[in-house]
Chain A
Amino acid sequence: MRLTCPLCGDRDRREFYYYGAEDYLHRPAPEAEPAAWDSYLHLRDNPAGVVKDLWYHEAGCTQWLLVTRNTVTHEIFGVQLVAERKA
């Protein structure tokens, strides 16, 4: 598997650390209901198809990346920096 880091270019997956779904980016407000925190921390979809998930270029630029890919075909549609993501 290979990912194209927006800063470093096309790289082998061994340079990256996988975290999980992009849900981690949508942190509830501190005073949000427990249900919102429960959902944020624990509830994940597991779709066969297009997902957005978080990868860390640990052996590269140390940027967190938002990767859009297909879990069935393994096709990668786009990689953007978490720090500069568009909503």
Chain B
Amino acid sequence: MRIDGKGLVDRTKPVRFRFDGKDYAGYKGDTLASALLANDVRLVGRSFKYHRPRGVLTAGSEEPNALVEVLGPKNQTPNVRATVQEVFEGLDCRSQNRLGSLRFDLLAVNDYLAPFLSAGFYYKTFMWPRAFWEKLYEPIIRRAAGLGSLSGKHDEGAYEKAFAFCDVLVIGSGPAGLMAALTAGRAGADVILAEESHALGGRLLSDGGTIGGQTAADWLAATQAELTAMPNVRIMTRTSITGAYDHGTYGALERVGLHKPARPNLPRECFWRIVAPHAVLAAGALERPIAFPDNDRPGVMMASAVRSYLNRYGVSPGKRVTLFANSDAARATARDLMAAGVPVAAIIDPRPDAFSVEDCPVHAGADVIGTRGRLGLSAITIRKGSETFEVETDCLAMSGGWNPTIHLTCHMNGRPRWDEDLAAFVPMVGAVPGLVAVGAANGSMSTHGALASGHAAAQAMVQALGRKVIVDLPEAEDMPYRPKALWTVDAPGRAWLDFANDVTTKDVKQAAQEGYSSVEHMKRYTTQGMAPDQGKSSNVAALAVLADATGRGIAETGVTTFRPPYVPVSIAAMGAGGRAEGFAPQRFLTSDQASRDRHAPMIEAGLWYRPSYFPKPGETTWREACDREVAMVRQSVGVTDVSTLGKIDIQGPDAGRFLDFLYTNTFSTLPVGRVRYGLMLREDGLVLDDGTSARLGENHYLMTTTTAAAGLVMRHMDFVHQAFCADWQVRFVSVTEAWAQFAVAGPKARALVNSFVEETVDLPFMGVAPVRIGGVEGRLFRISFSGEEGYELAVPTRYGEALFRDLLARAETLGGGPYGMEALNVLRIEKGFITHSEIHGRVSAHDIGMEKMVSAKKDCIGKAAALRPGLWGPEREQLVGLKAKAAISAGAHLFQPGAELHRETDQGYVTSICWSPTLDAWLGLGFLKDGRARIGELVRLVDHLRGLDVICEVCHPVFHDPEGEKLRA
């Protein structure tokens, strides 16, 4: 119920929202949890295994229970914590993990089966009969598994990712974080203050008090105003720091638009990578529950959460509240409630010597040993000495002490230290370089302790940054915190540790009995800590129970490993921008639009998009277009864009020497104006890449690489140069993007080229010359990848599109036209030219018949290894051509006709295939054991995947014009 005069929500701004189809009202500043509690909605979900009714337990991101599905116009988000989700006009959400309605969940039958469903039940139950697994068990488990559900559709919401840099990252904006930010901010350091909630203040918003003689609220307002006014301080609210990574890198999730109605271009979330040499962890502490029988009913809540709902949201979660706590500090909950006019029915304090100043019944030395209420708490049973009695209550506030929020300090392998006085784990100092834990996160539980440690940590960081600042430390309460550990109440019944995953004290004890006594084994056996909350409220209590069951101390038992992320991070946020076209960069040719204008389907070649074929009216299949384009090149002239090939400009007096070292063959002897085919090996002797290099001047070469290996070759060249010959006078740079280059091939290629160039050049085969085309300086190469007389015309990229369109227009007057990747592939297979289908990283120069290209006169990369036994000889699979009358496939394997088909009889495989309109046959390139000696033999080609079984003739790989007369024409 809402309490007049309390809370920080904006009462002038009512907000309507829906939960499970019913309309409710809240206020701006409410979370879904506070708004539901204001409407007396206590039942908000069902537990994972037993489908027990669940209510709100906490008021923060650690919430295990109150998980809902938020329904958006374009998305459905499961497992949203009602304690984090802010209400806004039109928010629509529903409860999850139920079969039927929330009040009558059919799967609640599991609760009656609890004796059969204890820890490890699925390891024991679903083992037999084996045949039941696929048909029965797995479908049932899949139906029951998980909490929320997905829509099954793409999330069309917008997400962002971003980088940020600062000197000091302050994590959390309670008194410790604010003091640290103020100190670093006043010193002029570049500060990011990250706060998980929508408002700064942390526990100050819930607990009040005085700071420096002002109310906490006034000090907070003044501090916030000062920080906001500082240009060197960035305040990031609604931002959770999710992980600590190497070298001062932190992950952060910002809820950018989740608290507003969706609108186009408003990101839902932003995933930040924040880089900071210094970080202050001021994340506070998490209050821990007490495990007593039936402690999981809606209405049983954390005492600090009850204070938050009352003081921050103006809501009392109950009309008649009780408090079960083992510390003096938790008494504030009862005092604040009574001051607000909410009756407190009883305070139960397990400490026998507990004080009693409150104006309500206080039971010292007593425990809560049971609760009643089917869908929500109606009464508790108290045990005091030998006496037990019931007290009616609809809200029990509990507190078993506090656990410092140490998670980030463990993300880089740091193990926390058990502090006996605090009865809690505290961070290991220096576990994350640059990160210092302060305040409650470091075990300083008083407001003074928070302010002082935040101040001190920031002072040290400011000094390390070479800055100076004097900031007065304001006075504040400094109450000692010496809790008596209270993990469980010894009484019959099921006492919950992990509310989300339904793990009770009995499960943990059973795990220990059955041999799972290591904390990591217990976790996996019971699933404790494996729910969306990652056991934030149950980890320490569970291992305390385990320590007790195994007779070891808590320090010795240790904790499970805390890993990032601290809060759930949607994959959509981490992968923001990476869907569909955003998945990888796209590279477009200058001819791209011209090709699309001709309706060419584009195919991806690495990051490039290249035309597959150019359909003509009446052509219904790609093969028709491809066959026509192949015939066109063989009979007249074809034009295709080859700009995707890597182009590397190499200059310097040692350029030739450098190429000699890179390539197996010699380039220093290449005359100016000539082009040579080169073969490049990896240092292990296998083929890296091939391509042509042209000598443009005495000290000037232009290398081309394959499209696929352009980046690889550049990296390789940088390595060879910098590692082995950095003192040579040679420099090189990629000019791939600087030049548009078009292949012109066919018997009429020369005529087409000469119609362009201002002065006719008579280039020999493998020649290069500068040309002028329409006033533009270009280059003309006489090289061929088709087997026909071929030229490549290169112009600066900005002229590419114009040249391409003009080339096509003129080619068409000669009976030619454009050809695409499909025809290009057929042409090169007919000619036996290899691509990375053949030089796929496992073949040697010998395998492709180029062993003679490895010069005996000089060293080169890969030469020593290429000469190793095993990389050459008849036992190797060698490149051959294959010819067949029926369709064949790349990927098929080769066998002796009549041989059995298995791995031992495998003779080789096929790498490329095509239908050859020129030879009227199916052609393939492949690798066959001792292939060169077997030309003319028949082999059996088998493809089990595609169901092919074809007899092929083994041929020389060059099918078309083996003498090369057309090339040199």
A83: which B residues are within 8 A, CB to CB?
Answer: 721-723, 726
Verify if B865 is at the interface (C-beta below 8 Å from A).
yes
B683: which A residues are within 8 A, CB to CB?
Answer: 24, 27, 40-41
The docked-state distance in angstroms from the alpha carbon of A59 to that of B33 is: 47
B275, B722, B863, B868, most chain A CB atoms within 10 A: B722
B163: which A residues are within 8 A, CB to CB?
Answer: 12
Pairwise interchain contact B246-A82, C-beta atoms closer than 8 A? no
Verify if A25 is at the interface (C-beta below 8 Å from B).
yes
Partner pick for A82 among B273, B433, B714, B722, CB 8 A cutoff:
B722
Pairwise interchain contact A1-B719, C-beta atoms closer than 8 A? no
Interface positions, chain A 39-85, Cβ under 8 Å from B, are: 40-41, 54, 56, 58, 62-64, 74-76, 81-84
The docked-state distance in angstroms from the alpha carbon of A58 to that of B859 is: 27
Verify if B684 is at the interface (C-beta below 8 Å from A).
yes
Number of residue pairs A-B, CB distance < 8 angstroms: 65
Interface positions, chain B 695-731, Cβ under 8 Å from A, are: 711, 714-715, 718-719, 721-724, 726
A84: which B residues are within 8 A, CB to CB?
Answer: 726
Pairwise interchain contact B722-A32, C-beta atoms closer than 8 A? no
Given A1-B246, A2-B249, is A19 in contact with B275 using a C-beta cutoff of 8 Å?
A: no
B885: which A residues are within 8 A, CB to CB?
Answer: none
Verify if B145 is at the interface (C-beta below 8 Å from A).
no
Pairwise interchain contact A37-B865, C-beta atoms closer than 8 A? yes
Partner pick for A81 among B248, B273, B715, B722, CB 8 A cutoff:
B722
Pairwise interchain contact A41-B247, C-beta atoms closer than 8 A? no
Q: Tell me the smallest distance from the CB of B730 to a CB of chain A, in Å.
A: 12
Pairwise interchain contact B719-A37, C-beta atoms closer than 8 A? no
Given A28-B864, A30-B864, A76-B247, is A41 in contact with B684 using a C-beta cutoff of 8 Å?
A: yes
Pairwise interchain contact B723-A2, C-beta atoms closer than 8 A? no
Pairwise interchain contact A64-B247, C-beta atoms closer than 8 A? no
Partner pick for A25 among B715, B718, B723, B868, CB 8 A cutoff:
B723
Pairwise interchain contact A30-B722, C-beta atoms closer than 8 A? no
Pairwise interchain contact B863-A27, C-beta atoms closer than 8 A? no
Interface positions, chain B 125-166, Cβ under 8 Å from A, are: 163
Q: Tell me the smallest distance from the CB of A76 to a CB of chain B, in Å.
A: 7
Given A64-B719, A74-B246, is A41 in contact with B865 using a C-beta cutoff of 8 Å?
A: yes
B622: which A residues are within 8 A, CB to CB?
Answer: none
The docked-state distance in angstroms from the alpha carbon of A17 to that of B864 is: 26
List the B residue with the shortest CB-CB distance to A34: B868
B711: which A residues are within 8 A, CB to CB?
Answer: 58
List the B residue with the shortest CB-CB distance to A25: B723
A82: which B residues are within 8 A, CB to CB?
Answer: 719, 722-723, 726
The docked-state distance in angstroms from the alpha carbon of A25 to that of B433 is: 32
Verify if B609 is at the interface (C-beta below 8 Å from A).
no
Q: Scan B858-872; emit 1 where CB is below 8 A from any A CB, else 0.
A: 010001110010000
Q: Jot down 16 A-B pairs with beta carbons below 8 A, ordered by A.
A: A2-B246, A19-B719, A24-B719, A24-B723, A25-B723, A27-B723, A32-B864, A37-B864, A40-B683, A41-B684, A56-B719, A62-B714, A64-B723, A74-B246, A83-B722, A83-B726
Apart from A10-B275, A76-B247, what 14 extra A-B contacts exist at CB < 8 Å? Answer: A1-B247, A2-B248, A27-B723, A32-B864, A37-B865, A41-B683, A63-B718, A63-B722, A64-B723, A74-B246, A74-B412, A82-B719, A82-B722, A83-B723
The interface of chain B, by Cβ under 8 A from chain A, is 163, 245-249, 273, 275, 412, 433, 683-684, 711, 714-715, 718-719, 721-724, 726, 859, 863-865, 868
